């Protein structure tokens, strides 16, 4: 599947930062990971640090799937508000999912320090009402999050205007949030894995998996074998090739990065992450060189041609969305792109085993929290592979 089209900002900004070999021989390993994006990289990082021998294989060049198209907002908030998700799965489970995403942000910060990765930055997050009718949702959401123990403020329309310079009936300002370059973070993780003895192979497509009594055999398009005791599938939205259960609805999202805004004053306060209650929601962040990255205007995914044809129209609409909030600021889109992403019935990822594929674990961070979900997946899968009980695994299982 062609997951992205256009000019993702991180890929344009950084280019192809590292090269990796393709697999040219048959090999044996304890754990094979299919997918060299952020999910596969984080899982490999956890496994290698636990002393397990593992290799990562990707059909593309590393990072050129969904990872390079990420707008790289790190938020604990799921695509479903806590107040809504609580009614679906219960407050305790919903609050735990939110808390785990918050803890994942801190974990990513700690990993960044350990591997000397500099493109992580803590910031606040503002969830604001897109329409007057959404004020009640904001107020309810505030109470649910406060009950769950999050540090936040409920802002009035005047406070939103004064603090951030745009109009909204109400908003929640959360202390916990961050930005990261997901594409560069993936490369940094994989370089660390290689230094610790792990293997990374790109342009190596797994075309067949044979399930054996004591493990698996992955067969590549060039006829080489990877024999492994366990396999982790972190192939993301291409999972429909491996799992016949309907677990995800595919959508297309659109994003733009503006030209550098030549002003010594930030477009809005403190580089806070912005996103709203619209469906689909609008989300924005600032870059260090004072560009605005805006995403949203999602559409149901039918095929790549139809998705890609809408880039020009969606670029104009996202620019218009920005202008409604900040009419006095001229925003000129410089890069625009589109990507396919998945949404689940409860906005939670699918992590763990699937009964039709033995010796296999899945790290599928669907939705807007893909990066934080990747951390959660890595932690749960490490416990499963090493035989430890994980108290949160059932929350994300295929059986839920």
Average pLDDT over residues 143-152: 98
Neighbours of 167 (CB within 10 A): 12
Please give the radius of gyration of the chain, using alpha carbons only, rounded to the nearest integer.
21
Cis peptide before 293 (omega within 30 of 0): no
Q: What is the pLDDT of residues 281-322, one digit of tens each?
A: 999 999 988 899 999 999 988 789 999 999 999 999 999 999
> Alpha helix (H) ranges present in the chain?
9-14, 38-49, 66-69, 82-89, 91-114, 135-147, 157-164, 182-195, 304-309, 311-325, 370-385
Separation between Cα atoms, residue 390 and residue 111, nearest integer Å: 21
Q: Which of 343, 370, 386 is the last residue of a domain?
A: 343
CATH number of the domain that residue 295 is part of:
3.30.70
Q: Is the CB of residue 175 less than 8 Å from the CB of residue 106?
A: no
Count of structural domains within the chain: 3
CATH number of the domain that residue 66 is part of:
3.50.50.60
242 lies in the same domain as 351 = yes
Residue 93, pLDDT above cutoff 90:
yes
The pLDDT, as a whole number, for residue 201 is 98
Asked whether residue 264 is domain-assigned, the answer is yes
CA neighbours within 13 Å on the CB side: how many for 87? 6
Separation between Cα atoms, residue 337 and residue 253, nearest integer Å: 9
The pLDDT, as a whole number, for residue 241 is 61
Asked whether residue 61 is domain-assigned, the answer is yes
The pLDDT, as a whole number, for residue 359 is 97
Q: What is the pLDDT of residues 167-220, one digit of tens each?
A: 999 999 999 999 999 999 999 999 999 999 999 999 999 999 999 999 999 999
243 lies in the same domain as 253 = no
Which of the pair, 390 or 1, is modelled with greater confidence?
390
Q: Which structure tokens are listed for 287? A: 């870059």
Measured CA distances, 105 to 100, 123, 165, 181, 193 (Å): 9, 11, 27, 13, 21
Asked whether residue 238 is domain-assigned, the answer is yes
Q: What is the pLDDT of residues 59-91, one digit of tens each?
A: 999 999 889 999 999 999 999 999 999 999 999
pLDDT above 90 covers a percentage of the chain that reads 85
Q: What is the pLDDT of residues 338-353, one digit of tens each?
A: 988 888 999 999 999 9
Prediction pTM value:
0.94
Question: Which helix (H) or strand (E) covers residue 76, if one does?
Answer: none
338 lies in the same domain as 354 = no
Neighbours of 263 (CB within 10 A): 9
324 lies in the same domain as 375 = no
pLDDT tier, 2 (very low <50, low <70, confident <90, very high otherwise): low
Q: Is the CB of residue 265 less than 8 Å from the CB of residue 165?
A: no
Separation between Cα atoms, residue 112 and residue 193, nearest integer Å: 14
The pLDDT, as a whole number, for residue 255 is 97
235 lies in the same domain as 267 = no
Separation between Cα atoms, residue 158 and residue 179, nearest integer Å: 27
> Mean pLDDT in the chain?
94
The pLDDT, as a whole number, for residue 250 is 86
313 lies in the same domain as 374 = no
Neighbours of 195 (CB within 10 A): 10
243 lies in the same domain as 254 = no
The pLDDT, as a whole number, for residue 14 is 93
The pLDDT, as a whole number, for residue 246 is 75
* CA geometry: angle 349, 352, 357, nearest 5 deg: 120
Q: What is the pLDDT of residues 216-263, one digit of tens each?
A: 999 999 999 999 999 999 987 666 666 666 788 888 999 999 999 887
58 lies in the same domain as 195 = yes
* CA geometry: angle 27, 30, 32, nearest 5 deg: 70
Q: Which of 343, 358, 386 is the last residue of a domain?
A: 343
The pLDDT, as a whole number, for residue 349 is 94
Residue by residue, DSSP assigns 154-197 as EEEHHHHHHHHSS--SEEEEES--EEE-HHHHHHHHHHHHHHTT
| Window from 3-7, 94-98, 341-345, 347-351 with minimum mean pLDDT | 3-7
* CA geometry: angle 227, 232, 238, nearest 5 deg: 110
Q: Which structure tokens are listed for 22? A: 């393709």
Asked whether residue 201 is domain-assigned, the answer is yes
DSSP state of 229: E
The pLDDT, as a whole number, for residue 33 is 98
147 lies in the same domain as 196 = no
The pLDDT, as a whole number, for residue 38 is 96
138 lies in the same domain as 189 = no
Asked whether residue 105 is domain-assigned, the answer is no
Separation between Cα atoms, residue 278 and residue 130, nearest integer Å: 6
206 lies in the same domain as 58 = yes
Separation between Cα atoms, residue 400 and residue 395, nearest integer Å: 7
Asked whether residue 3 is domain-assigned, the answer is no
Q: CB neighbours of 332 closer than 8 A, spacing ≥ 6?
A: 258, 259
Separation between Cα atoms, residue 184 and residue 206, nearest integer Å: 24
Domain extent, residue 392, equals 16-70+183-247+347-396
Asked whether residue 8 is domain-assigned, the answer is no
> Alpha helix (H) ranges present in 216-367?
304-309, 311-325
Q: Is the CB of residue 232 less than 8 Å from the CB of residue 377?
A: no
Asked whether residue 47 is domain-assigned, the answer is yes
pLDDT tier, 274 (very low <50, low <70, confident <90, very high otherwise): very high
Separation between Cα atoms, residue 179 and residue 267, nearest integer Å: 16
Q: Is the CB of residue 17 less than 8 Å from the CB of residue 10?
A: no
Q: What are phi and psi of 155, to 5 degrees?
A: -105, 140
Q: Is the CB of residue 284 less than 8 Å from the CB of residue 322?
A: yes
221 lies in the same domain as 354 = yes
Residue count of the chain = 400
Q: What is the pLDDT of residues 12-38, one digit of tens each?
A: 999 999 999 999 999 999 999 999 999
Beta strand pairing status for 73-74 and 225-233? unpaired
Separation between Cα atoms, residue 326 and residue 161, nearest integer Å: 11
């Amino acid at each position: 599947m062609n997951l992205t089209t256009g000019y993702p900002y991180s890929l344009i900004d950084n280019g192809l930062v590292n090269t990796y070999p393709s697999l040219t021989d048959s090999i044996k390993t304890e754990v094979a990971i299919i997918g060299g994006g952020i999910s596969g990289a984080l899982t490999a990082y956890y496994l290698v640090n636990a002393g397990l021998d593992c290799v990562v294989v990707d059909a593309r060049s590393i990072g050129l799937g969904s990872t390079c198209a990420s707008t790289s907002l790190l938020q604990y908030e799921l695509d479903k508000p806590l107040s809504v998700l609580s009614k679906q799965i219960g407050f305790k489970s919903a609050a735990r999912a939110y808390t785990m995403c918050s803890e994942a942000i801190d974990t990513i910060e700690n990993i960044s320090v350990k591997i000397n990765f500099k493109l992580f930055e803590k910031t606040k997050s503002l969830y604001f009402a897109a329409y007057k009718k959404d004020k009640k949702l904001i107020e309810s959401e505030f109470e649910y999050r406060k009950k769950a123990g999050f540090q936040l403020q409920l802002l009035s329309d005047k406070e939103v205007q004064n603090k951030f310079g745009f109009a909204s009936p109400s908003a929640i300002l959360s202390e916990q949030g961050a930005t990261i370059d997901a594409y560069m973070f993936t490369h940094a993780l994989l370089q660390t894995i290689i230094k610790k003895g792990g293997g990374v192979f790109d342009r190596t497509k797994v075309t067949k998996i044979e399930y054996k009594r004591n493990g698996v055999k992955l067969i590549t398009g060039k006829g080489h074998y990877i024999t492994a005791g366990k396999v982790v599938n972190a192939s993301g939205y291409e999972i429909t090739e491996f799992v016949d259960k309907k677990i995800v609805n595919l959508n297309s999202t659109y994003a733009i990065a503006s030209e550098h805004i030549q002003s010594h004053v930030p477009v809005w306060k403190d580089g806070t992450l912005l996103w709203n209650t619209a469906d689909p929601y609008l989300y924005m962040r600032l870059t260090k060189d004072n560009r605005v990255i805006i995403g949203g205007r999602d559409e149901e995914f039918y095929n790549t041609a139809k998705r890609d044809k809408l880039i020009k129209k969606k670029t104009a609409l996202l620019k218009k969305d920005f202008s409604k909030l900040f009419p006095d600021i001229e925003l000129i889109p410089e890069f625009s792109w589109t990507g396919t992403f998945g949404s689940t019935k409860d906005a939670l990822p699918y992590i763990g085993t699937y009964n039709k594929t033995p010796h296999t674990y899945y790290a599928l961070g669907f939705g807007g929290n893909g990066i934080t979900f990747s951390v959660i997946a890595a932690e749960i899968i490490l416990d499963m592979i090493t035989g430890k009980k994980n108290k949160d695994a059932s929350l994300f299982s295929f059986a839920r």
